[in-house]
Amino acid sequence: MAPGSSFLAFGIAVSAVALIYLFPRRRQSVVESYPPGPKSPNIPTLDAWVQYQDWGESMVHLVYIRENNMLILNNAHVAIDLLDKRARIYSDRAMTNMMKLCGFDDILSTQRYSDKWRGNRRLFQQNFRKSVSSRFYPVQYKEIHQFLHNLADVPEEFMQHTMSVSQGLIYASLYGLDIRSDGRLAQKAEETANVIGQAIVEPFPAIERFPWLHFMPSWFPGCGFQKVVQKCIAGVKEADTIPFDNAVNNLKMGTGTSLVAELALENPEDIEKIKAMGTVSFLAASDTTMSSIASFLLTMTQHPEVQSKAQAEIDHVIGRDRLPTFDDRQSLPYVESIYREIMRMHPPVPTSMRYLIQEIEYFLRFCRSPHVSTEDDFYRGYYLPKGCQVVANIWGINRDPNMFPEPDKFMPERFLNSPTGPYTNINNIYAFGFGRRFCAGRHMADNTVWLTIVSVLATLDLRNAKDDTDNEIDIPGEYTKTFFRHPLPYRSSITPRDQQARDLILATTTVD
């Protein structure tokens, strides 16, 4: 045999052996190189983010639950690497047949990552980006000053006032409407959220397996979902239409202008998109904003020493003759640090959302879902399969001790004394999520929560309530444990700092 052909034969033999052994090995190594995960995961429905965080600590920052094809991210760098730097493949959302029928593919926060989503997101971007956020200032001042008035007037109802300022602000900002003067508006929005929740909480497995059932009448076996779909579509339509029509009428009659009405008159071809922007904003904004403000009120009541320090800063910079404005923000680093620390410790949506069937109500209620990957990927030596539900555990990320030492302690100083100081980019507030699906209303939210914090600190004292024997009543500081997190009711004492503060509140509130 010629030397060349024995080389060839040897080469073929080696290749054959390699094919036999290496190919299965390669497949095997893919199987073996999923990120680590709990052996038999028992995913809790309450305080799940705490369990996620524990898994993250005992394994690595990347936890994979194979049964659910779910990846949990417990570290900011990892979340940024995947959701931000590889956003092209980590920005999709899961969509069931039922959700599609209910119209969720028209709602920005639940939409698949598609041209349709890009179009809706662009509309949000144009109207909520930082450079235009001053458009909302007048409404923010008015609503937050009214909030101070309400707290001074009926302090024991501070929880209701917190919800009312959060809902009122978004309605007034978008539609120029006063939610308090028309009870139907809030009620309709609540009803819609519940109808949407019901549409999905009730399991309709038939439509997931047999999409053609959609074409069958509702009496056909397995078609019970049809009635729910109709109810859901009608509910969303009403929520879209009632405030929208009011706003447009007001503009036409010359009785008031608003963002939504102006947009509708300028872009008649985009009416449906504009309506949807209004509804999504209400659903996405009210409860999250409420949660952040409520967390601030609770935390300040628990930390009177922090309040005093912030009040000293405000008095020094602003004085006592006027209420704070947005122009003061850069001069109040301690107040900024309080805001950052509240957002770190108490993200309203601790898991930036994933959903199991039990949690779907919350996912729908707050109209957010996890990111879903659209391609197989490899990261830090691990295989991350396509279609994976990717959960940024904001709770765990914000309590990463390498980033935030003594993470369970409320310490505004960690931001104040950090090398960068407290005024870092809004991207560093992880409560607003990661990547291309990050919160579309975050500049508005950031301004609202900051202005509320500084205005309350400037005028009010928050303390423990006292019992009949003048002893302080303990505040347990409990939170809801479900996927939307906010403080549970408690008793406290809220009073104007002094007569001057009371006069200032009364003088500044605009009474229509």
Feature table: binding site: 439
Q: Which of 112, 121, 231, 309 binds ligand HEM (CB under 6 A)?
A: 121
- Is 162 near ligand HEM (CB under 6 A)? no
Please state, in angstroms and rounded to a whole number, the distance separating the CA atoms of residues 376 and 33: 13
What residues from 374 to 433 belong to the interface with ligand HEM (CB under 6 A)?
Answer: 431-433
Segment lying near ligand HEM (by CB under 6 A), choices 9-17, 157-165, 295-303, 443-451: 443-451
What phi-psi label fits residue 222: left (phi over 0), alpha (psi between -120 and 50 degrees) or beta?
left
Q: Which two tokens stand for residue 37?
A: 């995960």
Three-state secondary structure of 111-153: CCCCHHHHHHHHHHHHHHCHHHHHHHHHHHHHHHHHHHHHHHH
| Cβ-based nearer residue to ligand HEM, 140 or 146 | 140
| CA distance between the termini of the chain | 104
- Is 352 near ligand HEM (CB under 6 A)? yes
Please state, in angstroms and rounded to a whole number, the distance separating the CA atoms of residues 365 and 300: 28
- Is 288 near ligand HEM (CB under 6 A)? yes
Residue 16 beta carbon to ligand HEM: minimum distance, rounded to whole angstroms: 49
Task: Tell me, rounded to whole angstroms, the distance of Cα 100 from its chain centroid.
Answer: 22
Q: Which of 78, 185, 247, 284 binds ligand HEM (CB under 6 A)?
A: 284
DSSP annotation of 400: -
- Is 108 near ligand HEM (CB under 6 A)? yes
Nearest to 150 by CA among 507, 506, 392: 506
- Is 445 near ligand HEM (CB under 6 A)? yes
Residue 368 beta carbon to ligand HEM: minimum distance, rounded to whole angstroms: 5
Could you tell me if 260 and 282 are in contact, meaning their C-beta atoms sit under 8 angstroms apart? no
- Is 163 near ligand HEM (CB under 6 A)? no
- Is 258 near ligand HEM (CB under 6 A)? no
Q: What angle do CA 400, 405, 407 make, to 5 degrees?
A: 60
- Is 355 near ligand HEM (CB under 6 A)? no
In single-letter form, the type of residue at position 398 comes to N
Site string for ligand HEM, 176-195 (x = CB under 6 A): --------------------
Q: How many residues bind ligand HEM (CB under 6 A)?
A: 29
Nearest to 256 by CA among 132, 171, 130: 171
Please state, in angstroms and rounded to a whole number, the distance separating the CA atoms of residues 153 and 494: 10
Q: What angle do CA 443, 444, 447 make, to 5 degrees?
A: 85
| Cβ-based nearer residue to ligand HEM, 284 or 462 | 284
**Maximum alpha-carbon separation in the chain:** 108
What phi-psi label fits residue 114: left (phi over 0), alpha (psi between -120 and 50 degrees) or beta?
beta
| Cβ-based nearer residue to ligand HEM, 82 or 449 | 449
In total, the chain counts a number of residues equal to 512
- Residue 64, strand partner residues: 71
Residue 210 beta carbon to ligand HEM: minimum distance, rounded to whole angstroms: 29
- Is 481 near ligand HEM (CB under 6 A)? no
- Residue 92, strand partner residues: 372
Residue 376 beta carbon to ligand HEM: minimum distance, rounded to whole angstroms: 21
What residues from 290 to 349 belong to the interface with ligand HEM (CB under 6 A)?
Answer: 292, 348-349
Return the SS3 of 201. helix
Binding residues for heme: 439
- Is 280 near ligand HEM (CB under 6 A)? yes
- Is 80 near ligand HEM (CB under 6 A)? no
96 Cβ contact list (under 8 Å, min separation 6): 200, 208
| Cβ-based nearer residue to ligand HEM, 206 or 335 | 335
| Cβ-based nearer residue to ligand HEM, 150 or 352 | 352
Q: Which of 279, 281, 311, 373 binds ligand HEM (CB under 6 A)?
A: 281
- Is 165 near ligand HEM (CB under 6 A)? no
Which residue number is nearest to ligand HEM in terms of Cβ?
441
- Is 437 near ligand HEM (CB under 6 A)? yes
- Is 441 near ligand HEM (CB under 6 A)? yes
Residue 455 beta carbon to ligand HEM: minimum distance, rounded to whole angstroms: 16
The radius of gyration of the chain's CA atoms, rounded to the nearest angstrom, is 26
Q: Which residues bind ligand HEM (CB under 6 A)?
A: 108-109, 121, 124, 128, 280-281, 284-285, 288-289, 292, 348-349, 352, 368, 371, 431-434, 437-441, 444-445, 449
